[in-house]
Amino acid sequence: MKTLDIKGEVCPYTFVKTKLALEHIKGSDTLKVITDHMPAVDNVSRSCSNEGHEIVSSKKINDTDWEIVIRKKLS
């Protein structure tokens, strides 16, 4: 599983970078996104769902960071 560290990024770039990473991975692989921008947890998940990707999990992993695991939709 690929990991995308977008700590320091705010919306909408959190989604823009997640989307670019999803476009790049193959098949229906999963992508792990690490963010320290709390609103992104909701926004990125919602935007990815809207595009048909599956949110496998999303959780706080330490004092500052969240982790979102996304499965790319089959195109």
- Residues serving a catalytic function are 11
Q: Work out the angle at residue 16's Cα, subtended by the Cα atoms of residues 29 and 74, and round it to the nearest 5 degrees.
A: 30
Q: Which is nearer to another protein, 29 or 60 (CB)?
A: 29
Q: Which is nearer to another protein, 23 or 63 (CB)?
A: 23
Rule CB under 8 A: which residues touch another protein?
12-13, 15-17, 19-21, 23-24, 47, 51
Smallest separation, CB 38 to another protein (Å): 20
The total of other beta-carbon atoms located within 10 Å of residue 32's CB is 16
Q: Which is nearer to another protein, 3 or 57 (CB)?
A: 3
Residues in Cβ contact with 32 at an 8 Å cutoff, skipping those fewer than 6 apart: 1, 2, 3, 4, 67, 68, 69
Longest dimension (CA), the chain: 36
Smallest separation, CB 69 to another protein (Å): 19
